[in-house]
Amino acid sequence: MKLRDVAALTNAEPVTCQEQMELEFMHGCGADLLSDVLALVEDVGVLLLTGTMGLQTVQVAQILQLGAVLFVRGKRPSEEVCAFASRAGVPLLTTECSMFEACGILYSNGLKPAQLASYPRTSPEAQCSGT
């Protein structure tokens, strides 16, 4: 899925790096806890959906080589964050969609979940059965 398709499907506005709207994404990850993203996301080139604002979000995108950040719930990054993302080449977009809605729209249109690192579960019953 191209970044321009992400924008069209979620009615998102590109905030930085508009020239990169042809980037392709196979996987996405929705999270507000950046520590979870750092600890669990193993894929590169992932679309990060988040409501977490700040330079740290762009820094996490850089560290993990994520492809772009889609801010949900109508959140808009500051000028400082936009300037940093532009220098880093990290496209930022913003949508009025909730995290749940944006993830659902993108998933139902073919974006797959990012590969996540294994982490200990408290019990076998706590595992997602997919049903």
Domain boundaries, the chain: 3-115
Rounded Cα distance between 28 and 113, Å, is 5
Reported as a pLDDT band with limits 50, 70 and 90, residue 130 is low
Rounded Cα distance between 67 and 82, Å, is 15
Residues in CB range of 59: below 8 A, 6 or more apart: none
Q: Which structure tokens are listed for 16?
A: 């930085």
Tens digit of pLDDT for each residue in 33-81?
898 888 888 878 889 999 999 999 999 999 888 889 999 999 999 999 9
What is the average per-residue pLDDT within 11-35? 91
Return the pLDDT at 117.
Answer: 73
Return the pLDDT at 40.
Answer: 83
CATH of domain 3-115: 3.40.1390.20
Tens digit of pLDDT for each residue in 70-123?
999 999 999 999 999 999 999 999 999 999 999 999 999 999 988 777 655 555
Return the pLDDT at 131.
Answer: 44
Q: What pTM value is reported for the model?
A: 0.86
